[in-house]
């Protein structure tokens, strides 16, 4: 029981090297979204031009990008809009 308590309070950290250039930072961040790999991240950024536009896009707008279906769009919007608790 105590092991679960300790694990629950731990913060997640990214162990890998962080990118230095803005362009690669943007790709790195978008790849953290559900079901988004390197290719889809690039397509999203090319289509929407900025992280802000991706984050503010509706599910329908996200699905306009090749490779984003209803399930992926829903997962992305749920992640971006759910309150942190």
**Could you give the number of structural domains in the chain?**
1
The angle at the Cα of 62, spanning 53 to 55, to the nearest 5 degrees, equals 30
* 61, pLDDT greater than 60: yes
Task: Give per-residue pLDDT as tens, 22-55.
Answer: 999 999 999 999 999 999 999 999 999 999 999 9
Task: Give per-residue pLDDT as tens, 75-85.
Answer: 999 999 999 98
The residue range of the domain holding 60 is 20-79
The pLDDT of residue 18:
80
**Does residue 62 belong to any structural domain of this protein?**
yes
Task: For the full predicted model, state whether its pTM sits above 0.85.
Answer: no
Q: How far is CA 25 from CA 17, 19, 32, 58, in A?
A: 11, 5, 11, 23
**DSSP H helical ranges for the chain:** 2-9, 22-30, 38-48, 51-56, 59-62, 70-81
**Does residue 6 belong to any structural domain of this protein?**
no
**Does residue 48 belong to any structural domain of this protein?**
yes
The span from the CA of 52 to the CA of 19, in Å, is 19
**Does residue 84 belong to any structural domain of this protein?**
no
């Amino acid at each position: 029981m105590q092991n679960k308590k300790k694990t629950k309070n731990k913060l997640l950290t990214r162990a890998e090297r962080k990118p230095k250039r803005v362009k690669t930072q943007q790709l790195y961040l978008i790849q953290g979204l559900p079901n988004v790999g390197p290719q889809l991240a690039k397509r999203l950024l090319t289509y929407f031009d900025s992280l802000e536009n991706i984050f503010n896009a509706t599910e329908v707008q996200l699905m306009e990008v090749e490779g984003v279906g209803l399930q992926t769009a829903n997962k992305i919007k749920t992640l971006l809009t759910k309150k942190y608790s």
